[in-house]
Amino acid sequence: MCGRYDLNETGSRIRVKFGVQQLPIIEPSADVRPTEMRPIVRLTRHGDGRECVLARWGLVPHWAKDIKFGANCINARSETAATAAAFKDAFQRKRCLIPATAFYEWSGEKGRKTKWRITVRDEALFAFAGLWEWWRDPGKPSEPGVETYTILTTEPNDLLSDIHDRMPVIVFETDYDKWLNEGSPELLRPIPSEAIEIAKA
């Protein structure tokens, strides 16, 4: 599970890294939490480029009756996302990249847990593989809809396996187009141990 992450980058570095022309107003945060509005990068409607928009963390499928549904969908298991009811439509048509500078995991006994900060070596800014959806409250059809997202997870690499049994899928910059355009299953793997660094938060 990935329940907290860090995004301390704004402005030009996100624009350059992800190849987008325009950016929404992005507030840096060292502790991004579910239900917050955070940037995602996706293909434009016509598929001729990328765009960056703000979306709410916790995917809510279009058929959900309540936005609270998203609390159960902050992560999606990459092994089953293509067939799970909440994610299968987004997996086919609504893939995204989620900018991040670190993510957090905890280990140890309840009440005495150690918080770990995990970064990508030589990548101050990187991307999780994600899915997004658009949802409108069926009880308020005249109100605007909201875009939501989830982070795909996979089995941990050897370095993280002692801390947690899952880790977010991290997409290298050379694979951004492959994920957004094709959703290639071979990208849904743990990042190599030598590519990450772990430190106490």
Task: Determine the distance from the C-alpha atom of residue 111 to the mean position of all C-alpha atoms in its chain, rounded to a whole number.
Answer: 27
pLDDT higher than 80, residue 163: yes
User: Of 52, 64, 10, 13, whose CA–CA distance to 32 is shortest?
Assistant: 10
pLDDT higher than 80, residue 1: no
* CATH number, position 50: 3.90.1680.10
Task: Determine the distance from the C-alpha atom of residue 120 to the mean position of all C-alpha atoms in its chain, rounded to a whole number.
Answer: 15
**Range 50-57 average pLDDT:** 97
**Range 73-90 average pLDDT:** 97
Q: Looking at the 3D structure of the chain, how many domains does it have?
A: 1
| Dist CA 40 CA 55 (whole Å) | 7
> Please, which residues have CB within 8 angstroms of residue 85's CB and are 6 or more apart in sequence?
61
Residues forming the active site:
2, 105
Q: What is the pLDDT of the chain when averaged over all its residues?
A: 95
Q: Range of 144's domain?
A: 5-200
